[in-house]
Amino acid sequence: MSVQPAQEGDTASFIHAARREQLVRCAIELIAEVGPAKASTVRIAERAGVSRGVLTYHFRDRAELIEQVVRSVYDLGLEFLGPRMAAAASPREALLTFIGGSVELYAAHPTEMAALSKIYSDKDGVPRAGHHRHTREMAELAAGLRAGQEQGQFRAFDVDVMCATVRGALDAALAHIAGGGCVEPYASELQTLFDIATTAPRGD
């Protein structure tokens, strides 16, 4: 079987995608260091070793680039956690996997997590509460908790409150990791805490 040579359009598309990825990577690194307010398109382009015109050719404006940074970090998280979550045999196992895996993610990719945190917390960044990727993550967490309740694995609790509590605990875990803390025993303790908080009482 003969291998068809790459078409000119395919090569151009690959180069375009590679350049966009490079620019997003440089934006992530710079935002993690100085925050979104100081990560101008000029500084991002300088870090990438290109002109500002090259950056604006690939991204309509700074807002589009920032949005791509957010998407890139969530995609990384999905790649890191997705297979583990899919392999979870029950809502309880999925919850514990999400909690423990998230702490591991923070430790494995500190630069990306720092960039996302600064984008969400900076006044010139992007509000987390209204972002569709955050909303989707919380909706999936809520769906898993409701499934656990329906199957009798979880006790009766307010799902929205529990989701917010899990998210708050993971935010604290991110701060712990960013401050030089270790994954363990932090991750295991969080898993135990939420396992106790959610598990349905056993019948006598």
Residue 11: what pLDDT? 66
Residue 8: what pLDDT? 55
Residue 53: what pLDDT? 87
Residue 3: what pLDDT? 44
- Phi, psi dihedrals of residue 6, rounded to the nearest 5°: -65, 135
Q: Where are the domains of the chain?
A: 8-198
Return all residues near 198 (Cβ < 8 A) that are at least 6 apart: 92, 95, 145, 148, 154, 155, 157, 162
Residue 51: what pLDDT? 87
Helices (H), 35-158: 41-48, 52-58, 62-87, 91-108, 110-121, 132-150
Residue 54: what pLDDT? 87
Burial 12-51 (b: 16+ CB within 10 A, else e): eeeeeeebbeebbbbbbbbbbeebbeebebebbbebbebe
Residue 1: what pLDDT? 42
What is the mean pLDDT, run by run of 10 residues, along the chain of 204 residues?
A: 52 76 95 93 92 86 92 96 96 98 98 96 82 95 98 97 98 97 98 97 69
Residue 2: what pLDDT? 44
The architecture of the domain spanning 8-198 is Orthogonal Bundle (1.10)
